[in-house]
Amino acid sequence: MHIVVCVKQVPNTTQVRINPETNTLVRDGVESILNPFDENALEMALQLKEKHAGTKVTVLTMGPPQAAEVLKEAVGRGADAVVLLCDRAFAGSDTWATSYALSTAIRKLEPADLVLFGKQAIDGDTAQVGPGVADWLGIPCIAYARKIEIADGKAVVERNFEDGYEKLETPLPCALTVLKEANVPRMASLRGKMAAKKLVLQPTTAEMVGADPAKLGLNASPTRVVKIFSPPPKTGGVKWQGEEPAVLAQRLADLLRERKLI
């Protein structure tokens, strides 16, 4: 079985800077980490590898040269192979263009039985790339997965909801977006860290995966951030104090009736 895990390097800060001209994230000079949700997708793949002999785990990311660091981390945890999609042609891609680019890279690999993603990225919070890649590949996708069992060419997946879960069965290949509740990600092993330290990555370009330039980058992205602004500060409301609770409760009830809220 071949499992592909798509991961993303994200800024490790709440002070995200935006390029005022392109309205895209400024990543230069900002410490970055492996997207926390993607850690759970990688852990799910590694657990399946331990359970099913002969399974190979390939980790794929798209980003600038420094994104190689999250691939080294993946190797440290147990990934068998990694791919870095790195090309100026990818710069500024929205979720649609990113999904397309990742799908072209996945098609160039040996056939994938399972493609895993974290639930969402903490910098964009769209949760669109996983389903988008599945659509480009023409395979089924199950979002919010917390558990998976694979047997006889099928996956049985538990999908979470606020008030419970449902169990779905789908043929392979398929894609999943994985919740944090699915597992506890492992730390890198000493042997894995040594392998990661020796890792030499050769970037994979858009031309190498046969991607259509017209579907890549900022100009090909159908969604744009057209305006960035901070929400107005919250103003203080009415504050009552120094009176008996019953009096305050009655005053609150009168105010709500006056505003036709009750």
Residue 262 lies in a domain: no
Distance separating the N- and C-terminal Cα atoms of the chain:
59
pLDDT at 216 exceeding the cut of 90: yes
Q: Which residues pair with 34 in a beta bridge?
A: 9
- Could you list the residue range(s) of the whole structural domain that residue 46 is in? 2-215
Residue 235 lies in a domain: no
Average model confidence (pLDDT) across the chain: 90
Cα separation of 230 and 262, whole Å?
A: 32
Dihedral angle, C-alpha 142, 5, 45, 33, nearest 10 °: -110
Residue 119 lies in a domain: yes
Residue 81 belongs to domain with CATH number: 3.40.50.620
Residue 246 lies in a domain: no
Residue 258 lies in a domain: no
Residue 249 lies in a domain: no
Among 135, 180, 129, residue whose Cα is nearest residue 8: 129
> Residue 17: CA atoms inside 13 Å, Cβ hemisphere, count?
7
Residue 240 lies in a domain: no
Cα separation of 51 and 1, whole Å?
A: 11
Average pLDDT of the residues in 208-232: 84
Judged by average pLDDT, the poorest of 151-155, 181-185, 235-239 is 235-239
pLDDT in tens, 64-112: 999 999 999 999 999 999 999 999 999 889 999 999 999 999 999 999 9
Residue 202 lies in a domain: yes
Dihedral angle, C-alpha 95, 101, 105, 107, nearest 10 °: 90
Reported pTM: 0.81
Number of domains in the chain: 1
pLDDT at 15 exceeding the cut of 90: no
